[in-house]
Amino acid sequence: MPHQTLDPIPISSSLVAAIQTIVSRNVSPLDSAVVSIGKIEGGYSENVISDTVSLQGTVRTFTLETQNLIKKRLSEICQGIGQAFEVKIDFEYRVGYPPTINT
């Protein structure tokens, strides 16, 4: 009865598509930023709807201001997609090392 469940695979696809618009629609073309989803895990069989999907990725920026903007947009997009599909999306953002800028 797939019509009675919330399928996280197509929901995660919508999430990835929305995330890919952050840089092109929110970051100035004069600034540098990269948002990449590098890992997607979900499902264990072709005939069973998965319980969960996990996405992992990276954010790279040259400024703290741009990094904070991207973090904010990621959180807002996760919240919006969660509301749109009536699912809970747990969002965790880990700050890594600052950029190395050589003179």
Question: Rounded to whole angstroms, how far apart are CA atoms 88 and 67?
Answer: 24
pLDDT at 100: 73
Looking up residue 79, the CATH number of its domain turns out to be: 3.30.70.360
Q: Is 95 strand, coil or helix?
A: coil
pLDDT at 56: 98
Instruction: Name the domain count of the chain.
Output: 1
State the residue range of the domain holding 65.
2-85
Greater model confidence, 75 or 103: 75
52 belongs to a structural domain: yes
Question: Rounded to whole angstroms, how far apart are CA atoms 29 and 49?
Answer: 40
Phi, psi of 4 (to 5 degrees): -105, 15
102 belongs to a structural domain: no
Across-strand partners of 33? 61
Write the pLDDT tens digit of every residue in 41-92: 999 999 999 999 999 999 999 899 999 999 999 999 999 999 999 999 999 9
pLDDT at 103: 77
Question: Rounded to whole angstroms, how far apart are CA atoms 42 and 50?
Answer: 6
| pTM score of the predicted model | 0.91
Tell me what percent of the residues of the chain surpass a pLDDT of 70: 100
96 belongs to a structural domain: no
Residue 12: its H or E element: helix 8-19
Mean pLDDT confidence for 91-100 = 87
Question: Rounded to whole angstroms, how far apart are CA atoms 55 and 83?
Answer: 18
